[in-house]
Structures are given as structure tokens and as C-alpha cells.
Chains A and B, each alone.
Chain A
Amino acid sequence: MIENNTALQLEISELMVQALNLDVAATDIEPDAQLYGDGLGLDSIDILEVALVVSKQYGLQLKSDNENNHQIFSSLRNLAAYVAAHKTK
């Protein structure tokens, strides 16, 4: 499930860089780097923004009661995997 997500990862990475005005190139975000806290250094508001942008782009619902949220937002790779599995557009 993870292997074929490279294109999607890059797409999401670009969305994040654009939405958050990050000082890195989309291609420079390591798929396994932590998004929250150390790593990419996003704070909770940034994560909210990522959630909003990604939900809109791919037509999916991110819910607060999803027990896997922590895992979903832990890295670009995990986020892409979740999007791949749940996207509706």
C-alpha cells in the first residue's frame, strides 16, 4: 500500500509547502520525517491547516474521534497512505 504513493506524497508535500508557506522545497520533505513538533516543526495550527487543505483537495473527512489521527499525521508517508485509502476525488 505504501510503495506506489510517491506521486501522491509529492502532491501532498506541495500542498503543505504552499499552504503553510514553508521554507523548504516540496521534494525536500522526507517522507518519514515527523510533521508535528520536532522534524518539520509544525505546530497544531499548521496541522489543522494541513487537515483542512488535504480534506478539501481529496474530498475526505478527517474526524477528531479517529483514533489513528496521531498516526495519520505523524509523517508525510502515513498521511499519503491515508489519503490514498480514503480519497473520493
Chain B
Amino acid sequence: MTQPKESTYQKSAPWLKHKERSNMLMLRIMSWISLRLGRRAGRSVLHLIALYFVLFAPASRRASLGYLPRALGRPATFVDMYKHFFCFASTIHDRIYLINRRYDLFDIEIQGESAIRPLIDAKKGVLLMGAHLGSFEVMRAIGRKVPGLSVAMVMHKDNAQKINAMLAAINPEASMDVIPLGHIDSMLQIQEHLNEGMLVGMLSDRTLGDEPMAHVELLGATAAIPTGPFRMAALLRRPVVFMTGLYMGDNRYQVHFETLADFTDIPRGQRDQAVNVAIARYTELLNRYTRLAPYNWFNFFDYWQSVPASLSEKKHQ
């Protein structure tokens, strides 16, 4: 558990620098408990974990307190913070069961399937954009209800390694199609997947640090959204669907699909403008769903301050 060297991550985003150590530890402890004692027993431990985070994880607590009042529209209480951590812990905990195909444990409601059904059927490739909002993993469970919904996830290569290690530990048969970013040909891989008619998913609310950002109005204050995913969608001329799997308490999840953009017929000259429209729409959806399910926001760093000045200006005008 060493901290990454500053020099290696110099250009990286705060969330990368700010090691995901605590998350990984939590995941390990919980997978052990869950698989041996069952979901109910596991969940009682989640309360302890949430409490631990409220009491002993000052950085996460600060982030939670910085975010919650914006989404709730009122000052956050100790209970809110507790709920926030508990919600996060629940989704991680449930991931263990989802990976083990225990879909029977969950009550999952799907909304907006019509936004994605025709695109899946057209088999021309779709980009699914989510955020660190709720659980993307419930996708596994709804694969049965929404046939054809098999997604290759694009993620930072370090995270890809961690996820794969985790998957292997929990269920060696559960594979996840992952496209690691950070290689010159990552983008070519994405293109090939789309050309085969597949769905490619990514969480577009965090920067990887080497890309320009767009400033948006999120929950009443300026935040930075990376433009990369949207520029990529525009270049590849694909439809984009927003997806979030909100945890609604107990064993309930609510999956939402929303039309985000369609770059299929956007001529080159209008691309930048279309990208801006898509970013605005993405922001609108983040605003809507963070307010709808405030405890589902899982960016435990200061999201509204993480606008590195050096990254906000680049050659793209």
C-alpha cells in the first residue's frame, strides 16, 4: 500500500493522485464477509464501514460535506453523510453478488429502455456514458431483461488492472470486457468494438489528466467535465446514451437510460458545437440525477475544486 510517486502522476487528475487505497481495502474486506456470511450479514457490516468512514476518513468526509449540501439544497447533517457512505458501500457490496450472477437478490427497475433499444438493434455501435453516480455494475444484471446489452468498459489502465484482479478473486468465470486507456491504440480498440456493433461504456465525469476540460454549471457551481469522451463520440460518429444505475435502498436499483447525443450525421464543421451541446446535456442529466438520488454520487474528492488551471487551456479553441 504505497502511495504513488508524485512524479509519475504529475499530470494526473486529483482522483488518481488521491489513491483509491481505502476503496480497495473496503472491497477486500467486504468480499470476504459477503461470500461467507450472505448479503444480510454483509450489510450489517456495511453500517460499521460507513461509520468508520464518517469518523476516520477526513478526506472522504470533506468531499462528502462539500457535495451533499449542493445536491440536497440544504446543509448536510451527520445522518446525510452516513447515508452517503452507506450508499457507496452498498453498491460495492452488491457488486460482489452481481459478479457472481446472484441477480435474484435484486429488484431492478429499468426506465428509458426505449432510448437504447433501437440503437442496440441497429448494431452500429453505441457509446454508453455514465458517471461515478450509482452502480454501473447493475448492467450485468439487466443483460437478461435488455438483450444485447453487453458492454465493453473503457477505463484507465490502472483501474482496469485492479478490476480484473478483483473479478478474478471473486468469480474467475466473470469476465469483463475492458478497454484500457493510456495506450496510443486504445481509441482504435474502441472504434473496432463499435464497428462490430458493440456497446462501449465509460464514466465521463473524471478526467485522466491529459485532456482539455469544459467548465459547466453543476449543482450551482462551476465544475470541470472532460471533453475527451464527447470529442471521441463525435469523431467516431456514434449515438451516445446516458446510463446510471441508482441505488434506491434495500435491494432496489433504478436504471435510467437517456438519450444524450447522436453524432452519426454531424458534419465536421459542426462537430465542436455538437460536442458542446452534448456536454451541456450530460451536465443537465448529472444535475437531475444527483438531485433525484443525492447519496449516489461517488466522487469522493473535491469535485468542484478539481479544475487544474494548466488543463483548462489547450490548443483547441
Contact = CB atoms under 8 A, between A and B. Distances in A.
Interface of A: 20-23, 36-37, 41, 43-45, 47-49, 51-52, 62-66, 69-70, 73
Contacts of A22: 315
11 contacts: A21-B317, A36-B184, A44-B184, A44-B228, A45-B211, A48-B232, A48-B236, A52-B191, A63-B192, A64-B192, A66-B185
Interface in B179-202: 181-189, 191-192
How many chain B residues sit at the interface, stated as a range, is: 20 to 34
A45 B315 contact: no
Given A21-B316, A21-B317, A43-B228, A51 B210 contact: no
Contact of B232 (A45, A66, A69): A45
Contacts of A51: 187-188
Among A20, A43, A47: residue with most chain B CB under 10 A: A43
A12 to B, nearest CB: 16
Contacts of B212: 43
Interface of B: 181-189, 191-192, 210-212, 228, 231-232, 235-236, 314-317
Given A44-B210, A45-B187, A64-B192, A21 B235 contact: no
Contact of B188 (A20, A36, A62): A62
Contacts, number: 61
The 3 A-B pairs of least Cβ separation, nearest first, read A48-B187, A64-B188, A64-B189
Among A22, A48, A66: residue with most chain B CB under 10 A: A48
Nearest to B209: A43
A85 B228 CA distance: 31
A69 B184 contact: yes
A51 B231 CA distance: 14
Contacts of A21: 315-317
Contacts of B192: 63-64
A63 B235 CA distance: 17
A48 B315 contact: no
A63 B192 CA distance: 8
A44 B188 contact: no
Contact of B210 (A43, A52, A64): A43
B189 A45 contact: no
B185 A64 contact: yes
A44 B187 contact: yes
A48 B188 contact: yes
Contact of B235 (A41, A49, A66, A70): A49
B181 A48 contact: no
Contacts of B210: 37, 43-44
Contacts of A37: 210
A69 B188 contact: yes
Contact of A63 (B183, B188, B231, B316): B188
A52 B211 CA distance: 19
Nearest to B188: A64
A26 B191 CA distance: 27
Contacts of B187: 44-45, 47-48, 51
A43 B189 contact: no
Contacts of A73: 184
A48 B235 contact: yes
Contacts of A36: 184
B228 A45 contact: yes
